Amino acid sequence: MRFIIFSLVLLGGCAQVVPQEDALTEVQTELQAVRAGLAVSSSELASLKAQENAGQSAMSERLEALQTSIGDLAADIEQQRKLQQACQRPAAATPQCESSEPTIIVAGDDNKMLLGEVEHVWIDPPGAHVIARMDTGASSSSLDASNITPFERDGDDWVRFEISSDDEATTVERPVVKFVRVFQQADREGSRRPVVELRLRIGDVQDTFEFTLADRSHLEHGMILGRNFLTDMALVDVSQQFVQPAFTPEEQQ
Q: Does residue 211 surpass a pLDDT of 90? A: yes
The pLDDT value given to residue 37: 76
Dihedral sign from CA coordinates of 188, 192, 197, 198: negative
Most confident of 160-174, 181-195, 198-212: 198-212
Nearest to 130 by CA among 168, 161, 104, 176: 168
Name 107's Cβ contacts closer than 8 Å, sequence gap at least 6.
230, 231, 232, 233, 234, 235
Contacts (Cβ under 8 Å, ≥6 apart) of 242:
116, 118, 119, 120
Give residue 180's pLDDT: 87
What b/e sequence results for 188-202 when a residue is b if at least 16 CB atoms lie within 10 Å of its CB, and e otherwise?
eeeeebbbbebebbb
Average pLDDT rounded to a whole number, residues 12-36: 70
Contact 107/232 with Cβ under 8 angstroms?
yes
Domain extents in the chain: 1-95, 99-252
Residue 217 Cα distances to 64, 157, 179, 189, 235, angstroms: 22, 25, 21, 22, 27
Return the percentage of the chain with pLDDT > 70, whole number: 64
The closest of 155, 153, 158 to 171, measured between CA atoms, is 158
Ranked by mean pLDDT, the top range of 2-6, 50-54, 155-159, 227-231 is: 155-159
13/200: higher pLDDT: 200
Closest of 244, 236, 235 to residue 201, by C-alpha: 244
In the structure, what pLDDT confidence band is assigned to residue 75 with cuts at 50, 70 and 90?
low
| Superfamily for domain range 99-252 | Acid Proteases (2.40.70.10)
